[in-house]
Amino acid sequence: MNSASWLSVHNSEAAPLDALPVLSQVEFRQEVLSEIDAGARLAAFFGVPQPDETCRLILVLADDRSGSLALTSIEAHESYPALTPDCPQAHWFEREIAEQWNIRPEGHPWLKPIRFQAASRPGQTIWPETNTADILPSVTTFFQVRGAEVHEVAVGPVHAGVIEPGHFRFQCHGEHVFHLEIALGYQHRGIENALVGGPHKRTIHYMETLAGDTSVGHATAYCQAIEALADSQVSARAQALRGIALELERLANHTGDLGALAGDVGYLPTASYCGRLRGDFLNMTALLCGSRFGRGFLRPGGVGFEVESERVAQLLTRLDSTINHVAGAVNLLWETPSIRARFDDIGALTKETCRDLGLVGPAARACGLARDVRHSLPSGIFRDVQLPVSTCETGDVFARAYVRWLEIRRSAAFVSKQLKELPAGPSRSDVGPLLPRHVVAALTEGWRGEICHVALTDEQGRFFAYKVVDPSFHNWMGLAMALRNQQISDFPLCNKSFNLSYCGHDL
């Protein structure tokens, strides 16, 4: 790595904004592509407005080998040469930059909106479909397949279940799916724009509702960003409690997902038990803070609630009983041949596809990639406690389910150990004002995968830009690719095995 071209930092380490290099467009492209070739991956790539109405594009690389992050940037006015043709994982980011800032990534092979939001920067819209800034959801060109007996199945935005909205189009020949195209943006609530000028009294509540089932994950990344920018320390006790809440969130969601997968193949015992057991984990989180989703538990400087020894004892008892029940319910899945027949070889992704698309979380680990922020770029309690990375090799529905089961056992063991060894001391400390003109990238391993928050402060120490990358942002394309050459009837199974967030993507 050419150190003049990159600002190298650790996870959740603030650096002066002036230390962030600004490269020429040619140099930028060469540098990024060579680092990606060497094994780094895109954690974030986004636009930041400048006072002269140009835009600065900031790119954050995560390097799992060295355990560090590297940031760099370019100035862009109207356009820049797209990374996507040589680096497919930039595909979604570059569409977002085009949409938000009216900047054209020249040579992008599939340029179209992703959230159907109006650009935040004046100028001629770059979408051929519309001449106004007021673009309508899913009004765009869709991938098309033509030929005898080829047909298209369109679903959504309102889906059949109790689930968030998105629009899916399957290009099929009978039951055989050639391609699935996914159009999102229905949940776009304008959160990133609302964060500018903060932190203010709504900020933490935005963080807890970026993706409601990941309230703890996103709040953790936010708190880490704030604490780095305020140069403040968090007590060992608070770090342990945050880790416990994060792993409880993972336990609840992974258990729910295994139940949902069982339900989708019509195996009702596990579906029924896991649906209830997921609630038991949520109720453990509610024991900590009153909210089943962990609302109010994480606050900059520590945690919002003290956890007394009786509460710890009760949590331990409940955890012990619940994890035994989960083991009973989930092991039925692996021992039932008809389940294995439906999970094996369905929606398989190769390791290469996974690497090219930059997938994260259980979806990546199921393809044999050991990507886990808790392991390679640890922060908080995970700097002291190493969790083994749970991987599988086959990249199919079975692998994505089995990785979850491995993680359930490891998370439960972690929570149990941390509760038993909870350090004494204060659980919250004051956080001072934020450093002016600084930048920080904070990564957390949420239950869906890597959560990345990047905050930039102005001269007054207020956010002038705040970028959120939910793991779903990396992974939606993975679901589309997993459906290729599958049957339409495999879609629910593939979808549940990824279980991606719509609101976390749409923001």
Partner 1 sequence: MFKILKTRLQQGYRTSAYPAQAPVLPDRFRGRPVLDASKCVEECRACVEACPTDAIARTATGPRLDLGRCLFCTDCTQACPEEAIRFTQDHRLAVRARQDLVMDGDTLRLARALDDSARRLFGRSLNLRQVSAGGCNACEADVNVLNTVVFDLGRFGVQFVASPRHADGLLITGPVTRNMQFALRKTYDAVPAPKIVLAVGACAISGGPFIDHPEVHNGADSVVPVDLYIPGCPPHPFTILDGLLRLLGRIHDQQSSSS
Binding interface with partner 1 (CB under 8 A): 115-117, 136-137, 157-158, 160-165, 185-191, 194, 201-202, 205-206, 209-213, 215, 269, 272-273, 275-276, 278-279, 283, 286-293, 295-296, 304-305, 325, 328-329, 332, 335, 501-503
* Class of residue 356 by CB neighbours under 10 A (exposed 0-12, middle 13-18, buried 19+): middle
Tokens of 499: 């279980």
Nearer to partner 1, 90 or 465 (CB): 465
Q: What is the nearest approach in angstroms of partner 1 to the Cβ of residue 59? A: 26
Nearer to partner 1, 333 or 481 (CB): 333
Nearer to partner 1, 3 or 132 (CB): 132
Q: What is the nearest approach in angstroms of partner 1 to the Cβ of residue 410? A: 22
Question: Three-state SS string across 238-283, please?
Answer: HHHHHHHHHHHHHHHHHHHHHHHHHHHCCCHHHHHHHHHHHHHHHH
Residue 423 gets which letter from DSSP? P
Give, for 100, the enclosing helix (H) or strand (E): helix 91-101
Alpha-carbon distance values, 292 to 153, 212, 253, 324, 379 (Å) = 37, 10, 12, 21, 24
Q: What is the nearest approach in angstroms of partner 1 to the Cβ of residue 118? A: 9
Nearer to partner 1, 189 or 351 (CB): 189
Q: What is the nearest approach in angstroms of partner 1 to the Cβ of residue 261? A: 15
Nearer to partner 1, 208 or 396 (CB): 208
d(CA 37, CA 123): 35
d(CA 480, CA 506): 17
Nearer to partner 1, 77 or 276 (CB): 276
Nearer to partner 1, 205 or 351 (CB): 205
- Measure the N-to-C terminal CA separation of the chain; round to a whole number of Å: 33
Q: What is the nearest approach in angstroms of partner 1 to the Cβ of residue 354? A: 25
Q: What is the nearest approach in angstroms of partner 1 to the Cβ of residue 48? A: 20
Four-point Cα dihedral 188, 193, 199, 205, nearest 10: -10
d(CA 225, CA 461): 13
Nearest to 296 by CA among 414, 420, 208: 208
CB 25 within 8 A of CB 103: no
* CA 77 distance to own-chain centroid: 29
Q: What is the nearest approach in angstroms of partner 1 to the Cβ of residue 489? A: 16
Q: What is the nearest approach in angstroms of partner 1 to the Cβ of residue 213? A: 5
Give me the residue label for tokens 């369905």: 346
Nearer to partner 1, 136 or 153 (CB): 136
Nearer to partner 1, 20 or 210 (CB): 210
Beta strands (DSSP E) in 107-155 are 150-155
Q: What is the nearest approach in angstroms of partner 1 to the Cβ of residue 122? A: 16
